Structure 1
Amino acid sequence: MNYLQIVALIVCVFLLQVGYTFHLSVAGAFFLVVMICGIRRLTVPALVFGLIGTVLIFLPIIFSPVNDFSDDALYRSLREGLGFFVIISLKNVRLVIGNRTHLRIKLAIWIITVGLLLITALQAIDIFALHSGKFFMPYSLFPGPIDLEHCWTLASCWSEFGQSRGTSVVIRPAATYAEPSYLGFVVLCLAFANQKVNSGNKIARNCITFIALIIVLLAQTVSGIVSLAIFLFVANWKYLSKNIGFLIFGAVFIIVSVLLLSGRFEALMGGSDESGLIRLVYPLQTVGEVFLQGYIFGIPMDYVPLVLKGAGAQGLHTASDNAFINMFILYGVSGLAVLAILFLNMGFAEIVFLLLCMQFNGVIFVYDKVVMISFALLLYHAHFQIRGASEPAAVGSTLHYPAGTLVDEIPGKIARPAVPAPGTT
C-alpha cells in the first residue's frame, strides 16, 4: 500500500457513516473495493461455504410469513447475503505485507486512534463545560439516523429528538460517528488489529490499547467498554500472570468504569435500562415468540413488527440491537448454520471478536460493518515480513521470492505452499 492508499483508508474510517443515502456513502464505496478484493482472493472452499450461507440467509424470504412479497425484504436479504459472502471470502486470507507497508499500516492505526481520542475528548469537554454541541458531526452529512429536519449537528439533533418526544436524551461523545456505540465498534476493530500489527512492539501495542480504553470511557458506551475489556482479557489471558502492569491497569479501568457509569450499571442490573432491554431482554422474548408461531426459518426484518404486533407481544417492535440474537430472529434454525460457517477455521480470539461485534447496532452484514470486520481480520491474520527475508507466512508454508525482490513490491499476495524447484525434494 502506498501513502495515497493509506490516506484514503484513514479518511474512509473517519467518515465511514457519511453519505447521501445508505448506498451512496463512504461505506458503500469502501464495501465495493473490499468486495473486489474478496473476489480476487476467492478460494473454492470460501465460494462453496459462502454460497451455502447466502442461500440460508434467503430462506426467510422463501418461507415468508406474508403472502404479499416485498421488494425491500428481497433487497435487504441480497445485501446481507453479499456482506456475509465478502466476510467469508476474506476471513482466512493470509496476506504477506512487507516492511514499508507494515510501517504505513502502523502509522495509520496511530493516526486513527489518536484522532478519535482527540475528537472524543473535545466533545466530552464541550458536553460538560460548553454545552454548545458545535464539535459534533453535521447532521446533514449522514443518511438521516433520526427523523428530524433543519437541525445542525448530531448533538443538537438528538437533543431536539428527545424534546419532541418528551424524553430526556443524554448526549455523549461519538467522534465522527452517529452514536457512541458505533464508536465503540470501530475502537474494538482497531484494538483487535493492533494485537497483530504491533505484536513485535509491546510499548506501541499497550499505548494504543490504553488510548482505546480511554476513548470508550469518554464516550460512556457500556457495550464498547464491556466488549473491549472482554476481548483484551481473552487476547492476553496466557500472559496475565506475567504481566502485573496489565492486571493493575485492568483493575483501575474496571473501577473507573463502574464509578463513571454506576447509574447505567444499576439500571442494567435492575432491568430498567432501555438500552439493555433492547439488546438482551426484548430480543430473547422475540426469539421465543418467533419459534412459538412456527417460523423455524426466521422472519425477514421488514415483517418482524407485523408478526410481533399480531402476537400482541409487549415491548417488542422490531429486530433488536443484538446481532447475535437477531441471527435466530431473522434466520431461525438456519442462524446456527450461518454462525457455524462464519466461525469455521477461526481461532478462539477471532470468534470472540465476531461475537462482540454482534453487540453493536443489530446487524453485521452491512457495508460499514463488513469492511471494518474484514480489514481487522485481514490485519490480524497477516504475515508481516522483514524486507528481503524469506520467512514462513503461515504454519506449514514457505515463501520464496526471486533474488533481489523486495517484499513491498508484491503486497497482498496469499501465502501458499511453495513449489519445489526442479531437481530438489
Structure 2
Amino acid sequence: MSTLGSLRAAWRGDRFAHAFILLLPVIQYGLNYFVSVAAFLFLLTAWNTRWRIVPLPSALVFVAAGASLLFCAVVLPDEPNLLRETRFTIGFVFLFVALWGKPRHAVERVDGRFALGMMILLFLITAVQWLAAKKGIALFPPQRLFVESGDHALASVWVEHAREHGYAWTLRPAATFSEPSYLGCVTLVLHFLCLHTLRSRLRWLAFVVALATSLLAQTYFGLVANLLIFGAFNASRIPKAFVLVTGVFVLSASLLALDSGVLPASVMARTGRLERIVSGQDESVGIRIAQPFTLLGQVLVHAPFGVPMSATQSYFERHHLIVPFEDAPLQNGVFNLLFAYGWLAFPLLVLLWRAAGGGITGLLMLLMMAQNGAPLDFDKLALIVFAIQIARHGRYRSALTERTRLVRWPRAPRPRHYRVPAAGRPPLHLPEI
C-alpha cells in the first residue's frame, strides 16, 4: 500500500483526532470567543469524552470559587465579572470530569504521522516568515482573523504601526498564531503526541523539528518545554548521573560565558535575549515568572481566599503593585489560579495533577497552563484533554508490551523417552502378575 493510501486508511481510523490535529494551525481564529475554532474543538472534545463525575474535586472548585467571590464582595472594593467567573468555574470542573473520564473515539487508531506532518508544516511556515522578515517582507496572518482582533501584541499590528511611523521593524515569526510562545505551545502538544504514537526514529525527528521551530521563533517557552517533555519521556533510558552532570556543566558554562564576556560580539548580539533572561531584564520572563512569584505573597497574606481572575488586575493596581497601561504579571495561568483561589488553589492543583495522571502528563498540563494567562479558555481545555487522552493509551500500550516482554512463560514439559528394544535383543522380561 502506498503512503497516501495508508494515510487515507489511517484517517478513517479516528476522524475526530486527525481532524483535531489538522485544525490546530487555525485554533486562534474566529469571529468572537464563542464563535471560533477553539470553541468548536472544545465542543468536539466534550462530545467525544465519557465524563465521570468526581464529587470531591468538583465540590472543592465550587467552594473555592464561592469563597473568592464572597471575600471580594465583603472585603475588597474590586468588582469581578460574574459571567466570566462562572465560565472559569465550569471550565475547571470540566477539566476534572473529562480527565477522570474516558475517550469515546478510537484513540488506539490515532496515527502519529498526522502530528509529525503538522509539525513539519509549522516549521516550514516559520522558516518562510523568518526569511521574509530578514528581507523586510511581512508574511503574518491578518489581524481580523483572530478572536482577539484588538490585541496590540499581534505581529500584523506591529508591522502596520511601524509602516505608519516610518521605522524599521524586527519581529519573531509565529507561523499562523498570535505570538511565538503560542507556537511553542502547539509544537509542544504535537511533539507530545508524536512521542506516544510514533516509533523511536520518528520520535527523534519530531524532537529535532520541535527544537528547530522554537529556535527560529526564539520562543524560550517552546524550547524549554519541549526539552522537559522529551527528557521526562526518556528519563528511564538516560542515566540520571549523566543528566545531572551535563546540566550542571552546561548551565555553569553558559553563566560563566555571559558573565565574563568571553563570547564574541556577534554571538552576544544573537543571544541578547538569553543575556537579558539571565540578568533578569527580560520583560516576557518577568511578567510570567519573576513578578507573579513576588506578588503571590501579597495575595496569600492579605487575600487568603484569593481575588477573582476578572478583578486581579484592578486589585494589583489599587495596591500600586503594578503600573497601569503596561503588561501586567498575569501571563502565567498557574499563578493566575493561585491568585484567584488563594490557599485553596494548592489542593486543587494537587487533585488536578492526580486527575491528569501525574508524571509526564501532569507536567504537560502545567506547562500548557503556564504558557499564557488563560488556563481555562476553550483552546487550553481542548488541547489538554485531547493530548492526555491519547498519551494515556500510548502509555498503557507501551506498559502492556513491556509487561508481556518481561513475563516468563512456563516451559513446556519435556517429553519422556522410553527405551525401545533393539532388533537383535530379546524383549524385556515382564514380571507376571
**TM-score range with shorter-chain normalisation?**
0.7 to 0.9
Instruction: State the partner residue of 1:270.
Output: 279
C-alpha distance in structure 2 between counterparts of 1:216 and 1:290, whole Å: 34
TM-score (norm: length of structure 2): 0.74
> Which of 132, 139, 145 is the aligned partner of 2:137?
132
Relative to structure 1, the CA distance from residue 4 to residue 306 in structure 2 (aligned partners, 3 Å threshold; closer, same or farther) is: closer
1:285 matched to 2:279? The reply is: no
1:57 shift after superposition: 3.4
1:313 matched to 2:321? The reply is: yes
Instruction: State the partner residue of 1:370.
Output: 381
TM-score (norm: length of structure 1): 0.76
8 Å CA contact retained: 1:18, 1:25:
yes
Q: In the TM superposition, what whole-angstrom CA distance separates every residue of 1:248-284 from its partner, at most 9, and x where no partner exists?
A: 9xx99x99xx969621111112121111111122212
8 Å CA contact retained: 2:30, 2:145:
yes
Instruction: State the partner residue of 2:124.
Output: 118
8 Å CA contact retained: 1:99, 1:384:
no
C-alpha distance in structure 2 between counterparts of 1:76 and 1:57, whole Å: 12
What residue identity is the alignment partner of 1:202? S
Instruction: State the partner residue of 1:206.
Output: 204
Paired residues for 1:74-223 under 5 Å:
74-93=82-101, 101-102=109-110, 105-128=111-134, 130-134=135-139, 136-147=140-151, 154-161=154-161, 170-198=170-198, 201-223=199-221
What residue identity is the alignment partner of 2:296? V
Aligned length: 371
1:61 matched to 2:69? The reply is: yes
1:55 shift after superposition: 3.7
Relative to structure 1, the CA distance from residue 17 to residue 156 in structure 2 (aligned partners, 3 Å threshold; closer, same or farther) is: closer
List runs of 5+ in structure 1 lacking aligned partners. Answer: 396-425
Q: In the TM superposition, what whole-angstrom CA distance separates every residue of 1:309-361 from its partner, at most 9, and x where no partner exists?
A: 22222458745112222222121111102201101152321222222223211
1:333 matched to 2:339? The reply is: no
C-alpha distance in structure 2 between counterparts of 1:6 and 1:353, whole Å: 18
What residue identity is the alignment partner of 1:138? P
What residue identity is the alignment partner of 2:40? A
Relative to structure 1, the CA distance from residue 285 to residue 14 in structure 2 (aligned partners, 3 Å threshold; closer, same or farther) is: same
List runs of 5+ in structure 2 lacking aligned partners. Answer: 1-10, 259-266, 404-433
1:26 matched to 2:30? The reply is: no
8 Å CA contact retained: 1:57, 1:80:
no
C-alpha distance in structure 2 between counterparts of 1:25 and 1:320, whole Å: 24
C-alpha distance in structure 1 between counterparts of 2:390 and 2:183, whole Å: 20
C-alpha distance in structure 2 between counterparts of 1:62 and 1:352, whole Å: 32
Relative to structure 1, the CA distance from residue 303 to residue 97 in structure 2 (aligned partners, 3 Å threshold; closer, same or farther) is: closer
% identical equivalent positions: 26
> Which of 343, 354, 361 is the aligned partner of 1:350?
361
1:58 shift after superposition: 4.0
Relative to structure 1, the CA distance from residue 76 to residue 165 in structure 2 (aligned partners, 3 Å threshold; closer, same or farther) is: farther
What residue identity is the alignment partner of 2:303? Y
8 Å CA contact retained: 1:27, 1:367:
yes
C-alpha distance in structure 2 between counterparts of 1:367 and 1:51, whole Å: 22
1:323 matched to 2:333? The reply is: yes
- Report the secondary structure of 1:312's partner residue: coil
Relative to structure 1, the CA distance from residue 17 to residue 51 in structure 2 (aligned partners, 3 Å threshold; closer, same or farther) is: farther
8 Å CA contact retained: 1:267, 1:273:
yes
Paired residues for 1:384-395 under 5 Å:
none
8 Å CA contact retained: 1:298, 1:331:
yes
What residue identity is the alignment partner of 1:339? L
Pick the structure with greater CA Rg.
2
By relative contact order (CA 8 Å, sep 6+), the higher-ranking structure is 1
C-alpha distance in structure 1 between counterparts of 2:62 and 2:43, whole Å: 18
